[in-house]
Amino acid sequence: MATVKFTFEDKSIAQPLVIENVDVDTSILDLTEDHDIHLNHNCGGVCACSTCHVYVLSGEDDLEEISDKEEDFIDRAINPRLSSRLGCQCVILSKDAFIEIEIPDQSRIIGHEH
């Protein structure tokens, strides 16, 4: 089972948060929902906005490849980086994955929270 380590741009949140035994085919957005981690998501996880924007610090090879559509929405995100992805599109592919995700400060994003 995969492991995902979350850190947060908002340093007032206890860090890091490590989630083990994550099933393959789970998205980062679904994982945040399952573990009560605040990550906005206006479109419901269908790659139609940029509110579930995250930074993939490591483990990108164990995630589904980025699509052209996802890249277009990342361009609309607040403070995108080369490591930017949409949480709804980061689907875990490997049971041995170790993925590190940084969640941007959600106070700057107007969006739906779980």
User: Sorting pLDDT into bands at 50, 70 and 90, what band is 111?
Assistant: low
| pLDDT of the residue at 56 | 98
Between CA 48 and CA 59 the distance in angstroms is 24
Spell out the CATH class of 2-106. Answer: alpha beta
- Each residue of 55-104: pLDDT tens digit? 999 999 999 999 999 999 999 999 999 999 999 999 999 999 999 999 99
Q: How is residue 37 written in tokens?
A: 């981690």
Domain boundaries, the chain: 2-106
Stretch 21-34: mean pLDDT: 97
SS3 at position 66: coil
